[in-house]
Amino acid sequence: MGKKAVVTGWGKCVPPVALTNADLERLCETDNDWIVERTGIHSRRISHVEGTDLAELAGRRALASAGLEPEDLDLILVATCTPEILCPSVAAMIQERLGAVNAAAFDLNAACSGFVYSTANVTGMIESGFAERVLVIGVEKLHIAMDYRDRSTCILFGDGAGATVYEATDADAGVLSVDIGADGSKGHTMVVQAMGTKGDPYWGKPPEETRLYFEGQAVFKIAVQGIAASAARALERAGLTAEDVDLVIPHQANARIIDAAARRLDIESERVFMNIQDLGNTAAASIPMAISDAADAGRLKPGDVVLLTAFGGGITWGSIVMKWGDRVESVGVHEGELPATDATVWDLLESNLEFYAPLHEDQPPVRR
C-alpha cells in the first residue's frame, strides 16, 4: 500500500467583530426571518486585520494541533480568492512569518472550492512522495467585495480562516478519492473584478466594478446539482456509497443548498456538519473551519468515512472522500490571539459604505 494523505492537525481564526442580521436590517431592505429562512445564517464576522493575519493564526493553531514545528513543513498552500496582495503570495508571506524555512509555498484560487482543490493537490504530492507534511490554509476577507445595501449578496458572506495539516501515512487512513471539475462557461454567475484587499482597497476603483456580482437563483440550482454529482462520483471512485458516510463536511454556502444536496445524496441531516449560522459563507475558509469545529465537537472518530464537498465561482466544484485517522484530539494548543480591537462593525464598514453610496443615492440613508 502506498502513502496516503491524512489530517493530523486543525485550527481556525474567527475575527471578533460580528455583523448580525439585526445590523443588516439597518443597512438594506431585509429582516432576520427572511435571512434565516433563505440561508440559515444569523451572523457573520468582519475582520479588523488583513486576511494574512487570520491565515497565520489559523496556521499556527493547526501546527500546534498536529504537534509539528514550522521547520517540519514541506509545503504551505493557501486557498483564497481575496489575497492581501497579488505578489508575494499569501502562502509565501506565511512561510516567512512562521519561519517554515524548508517549505515551498503558493496560493490557489478556486473560489469556494479552493480548500477541496488544495486537498486534491496535496493528496497527489503526498502519494507521489513529493511532500510528507503540508499546511493547507483557507482564508478570505470577503467583506471588501460586499455592497451592504445589496441584500442578495451582503447577507451571505463573512471573513475568516481555517487550516489543516496533512501528513503522509502508511496506515489504513487518509484520502481515498478525489473529484474536481469546472465549467468556465458559467463563470459569469459569480464575479469579483477587484484585486487585493490590503488597507483601503477602494482607491481608484469604480464601485460597480468592485462589488461582487452574483446571480443567486442560477447559482443555487448549479450548486445543488454540482455538489451532489461530484460527491456521488467521489464515493464511487472510493468504492463506497452514501450509506458508508459517517460525516459530510460541506462548503458552508447556504443551509438550503446543503440540505438540498444532502437529500439528493440520500444523506440525512444528522450526518451533515453545519456551522454556517454564526460564520456565514467564508468561501475557501469554510471547510477547514468546519473541520476544526467538527473535531473540537467530537464529531470525528478514528476510521470515520468523511466526505468534503464544495462548489464555487469559476464555476468550480470538488469532493474528497477520506477515512479519518487516529488523531481526534489536538496534540497542543497555540496560545496566540489576534490584536485586540475597540472598533465596532460600523467603524469597520465605514469606508465600504461610503464607497458604495453612489450606487444607492435613491435609497434612504443607513440607520447606524
Closest CA to 244 of 267, 228, 225: 267
Catalytic residue selected from 109, 112, 143, 352 = 112
Determine the Cα–Cα distance for residues 55 and 51; give it in Å rounded to an integer: 6
* Residue 228: all three cell numbers together: 451532489
Determine the Cα–Cα distance for residues 263 and 188; give it in Å rounded to an integer: 27
* Residue 76: all three cell numbers together: 504551505
112 classed as catalytic: yes
- In angstroms, the Cα distances linking 199 to 144, 203, 322 are 10, 10, 39
Catalytic residue selected from 13, 143, 154, 251 = 251
Alpha helices in the chain (DSSP H): 21-25, 32-39, 51-66, 90-98, 114-128, 151-154, 216-237, 255-265, 276-279, 286-296, 345-356
* Residue 37: all three cell numbers together: 429562512
Determine the Cα–Cα distance for residues 17 and 326; give it in Å rounded to an integer: 35
Find out whether 132 and 168 touch, Cβ atoms under 8 Å: yes
Alpha helices in 111-215 (DSSP H): 114-128, 151-154
Closest CA to 238 of 291, 294, 174, 312: 174
- The residues near 9 (Cβ < 8 Å, ≥ 6 apart) are 62, 63, 64, 65, 66, 67, 68, 164, 165, 327, 330, 331
Question: What is the full DSSP assignment across 238-269?
Answer: TT--GGG-SEEEE--S-HHHHHHHHHHHT--G
Catalytic residue selected from 21, 254, 275, 281 = 281
Q: Is 210 helix (H, G, I), strand (E, B) or coil?
A: coil
Catalytically active residues are: 112, 251, 281
